[in-house]
């Protein structure tokens, strides 16, 4: 095996998902760059891998300092880089290490495997021909809604990492921005309670209000509907709006939300009101 940096994916829940090549590289590596040495040592123990290695912590806050040390080592040794779980560099440390290694002419190899965002897309049933991974959703209200508003018109499936204790707030903020767009939450992927729930933000909110959200989660939003009139149930949406609003307000809300022709929506609203 050549010297250099090996970016090694590890399981996100099911130990059986470690690849044969990942085990081979982890067994051969002299240096293991990891986020939390306790987590990685436990993984080595569960996989029956030798622990007589140098484990070096590489975290967001010390990435700069540790990167220099790891680069020196990788010039003459096999260095494996892992995260606590899943694919390194994806909302996890390692980008700077790889960036500097490439500039310094140090070999970089990928040992692919589980990645939560890819697994979530595979479970979701949402379009996968094009997607945008937007990382973790900010926890501050304004930053969260600014992000959603910035991304809402992009014609692609949106993918975010999220945690159980924030999902209610996130879906509440997502509902007015994404409206009737289909969404999905995949949680506990590859674990015993793996689940993928599909629906609009309002439907997902209802689900997680009824069933306490638990575990690690990936939130996805389907692309905006290209021909909204053909895809949405306009009568149903308008009837809902007319329950609490005047014809004028209901029409305005629906036109803004779906970018429809105002006259057509107005005529339909009048008809429904008179029925
Ligand atoms: N680098 C990892 C990857 O891409 O697989 C992700 C690390 S990131 C720090 C952790 C986030 O990934 C979690 O908050 C969650 O959004 C997602 N995640 C990780 N494991 C998961 C699982 N088993 N099920 C659902 N989401 C998961």
Q: Using one digit for the tens of pLDDT, what is the confidence trace for 78-87?
A: 999 999 999 9
Please state, in angstroms and rounded to a whole number, the distance separating the CA atoms of residues 174 and 166. 12
Q: To the nearest 10°, report the CA torsion of 47, 52, 54, 56.
A: 30
Mutate to test the pocket of ligand 1, among 162, 218, 219, 220 (most ligand atoms within 8 A of CB): 218
DSSP class of 8: E
Q: What is the model's pLDDT at position 258?
A: 74
pLDDT band at 274 (very low <50, low <70, confident <90, very high): confident
Which residue CA neighbors atom 23 of ligand 1 most closely? 189
DSSP class of 17: G
Mutate to test the pocket of ligand 1, among 58, 86, 93 (most ligand atoms within 8 A of CB): 86
Q: What is the model's pLDDT at position 259?
A: 66
pLDDT band at 62 (very low <50, low <70, confident <90, very high): confident
Q: Mean pLDDT, the chain, as a whole number?
A: 93
DSSP class of 11: -
Question: What is the helix (H) or strand (E) element at residue 133, kind and residue range?
Answer: strand 131-136
Per cent of the chain over pLDDT 90 is 80
Cβ atoms of residues 32 and 56 within 8 Å: yes
Q: What is the model's pLDDT at position 262?
A: 80
Q: What is the model's pLDDT at position 4?
A: 98
Q: What is the mean pLDDT of residues 47-69?
A: 91
Angle between helix 63-74 and 95-104 (nearest 10): 40
Q: Are strands 4-8 and 31-34 parallel, antiparallel or unpaired?
A: unpaired
Give how far Cα 147 sits from Cα of 79, 137, 160, 176, 215, Å.
Answer: 37, 8, 11, 13, 24
- Ligand 1 contacts CB of residue 86 (under 6 A): yes
- Ligand 1 contacts CB of residue 85 (under 6 A): yes
Q: Using one digit for the tens of pLDDT, what is the confidence trace for 147-203?
A: 999 999 999 999 999 999 999 999 999 999 999 999 999 999 999 999 999 999 999
């Amino acid at each position: 095996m050549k010297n250099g940096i090996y970016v090694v994916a590890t399981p996100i829940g099911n130990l059986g998902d470690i690849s044969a090549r990942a085990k081979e590289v982890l067994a051969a590596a002299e240096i293991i760059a990891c986020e939390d040495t306790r987590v990685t040592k436990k993984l080595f123990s569960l996989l029956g891998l030798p622990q007589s290695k140098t484990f070096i912590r590489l975290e967001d806050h010390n990435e700069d300092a540790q990167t220099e040390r790891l680069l020196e080592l990788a010039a003459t040794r096999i260095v494996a880089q892992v995260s606590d779980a899943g694919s390194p560099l994806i909302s996890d440390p390692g980008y700077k290490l790889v960036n500097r290694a490439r500039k310094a002419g140090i070999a970089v190899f990928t040992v692919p495997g589980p990645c939560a965002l890819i697994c979530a897309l595979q479970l979701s049933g949402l379009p996968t021909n094009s997607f945008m991974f937007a990382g973790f959703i900010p926890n501050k209200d304004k930053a969260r809604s600014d992000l959603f508003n910035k991304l809402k018109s992009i014609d692609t499936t949106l993918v975010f990492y999220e945690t159980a204790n924030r999902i209610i707030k996130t879906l509440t903020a997502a509902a007015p921005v994404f409206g009737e767009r289909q969404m999905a939450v995949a949680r506990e992927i590859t674990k015993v309670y793996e689940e993928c729930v599909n629906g609009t933000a309002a439907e997902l909110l209802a689900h997680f209000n009824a069933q306490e959200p638990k575990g690690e989660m990936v939130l996805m939003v389907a692309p905006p509907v290209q021909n909204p009139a053909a895809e949405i149930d306009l009568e149903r949406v308008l009837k809902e709006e007319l329950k609490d609003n005047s014809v004028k307000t209901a029409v305005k809300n629906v036109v803004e939300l779906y970018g429809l022709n105002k006259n057509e929506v107005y005529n339909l609203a009048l008809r429904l009101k008179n029925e």
